[in-house]
Structure 1
């Protein structure tokens, strides 16, 4: 995963930006009953052009690191599980340790 951009840092620093992403991610969590999962890219793609602009992102791909970071935060709070290759990622695994696609599931 590429290093965070200035836009990523701005999104993390701005509480309203964080709430836009959190709202979108929580919406997906509420709509998908376990054991169904979703990809973080589905959350990023659901952001409107206006929301992307407010977050400081040009495209949904630019929002991916922030969506993945938020998923890790919600996982730490016990609100979701993160899976890779169909297996839950252990609590001892940090986001920086993950390479490749992940899926998210409501607990």
Structure 2
């Protein structure tokens, strides 16, 4: 997640499914992982990184204090 954010322009956001797709692509050569099965792990990582203050969440430009429904992920420091 943090690697993917680091590859984007400062202030850009990513979708949690992008993270799951990236992980699944790295794993698919060995076990045929489907990105959807990785979403609970991505959500848990999001919760952890939000609690640490390393990422922030938003939806349609509005800040979210926690995951709820659809959301976008950004670096907490804006970079």
- 1:31 is aligned to 2:20: no
TM-score by length of 1: 0.58
CA distance in 2: counterparts of 1:39 and 1:28, whole angstroms: 10
Greater strand fraction, Structure 1 or Structure 2: 2
Greater helix fraction, Structure 1 or Structure 2: 1
Query: RMSD across aligned C-alpha pairs, in angstroms?
Result: 2.0
Match of 2:72 in 1: 103
Unaligned runs of 5+ residues in structure 2 are none
Deviation at 1:58, TM superposition (A): 3.7
Match of 1:46 in 2: 22
Match of 2:54 in 1: 79
Deviation at 1:62, TM superposition (A): 0.9
Where in structure 1 do 4 or more consecutive aligned residues deviate above 6 Å?
A: none
CA distance in 2: counterparts of 1:58 and 1:30, whole angstroms: 24
Deviation at 1:64, TM superposition (A): 1.1
Task: Pick one of 44, 52, 73 that aligns with 1:69.
Answer: 44
Match of 1:89 in 2: 64
Deviation at 1:42, TM superposition (A): 0.7
Unaligned runs of 5+ residues in structure 1 are 1-24
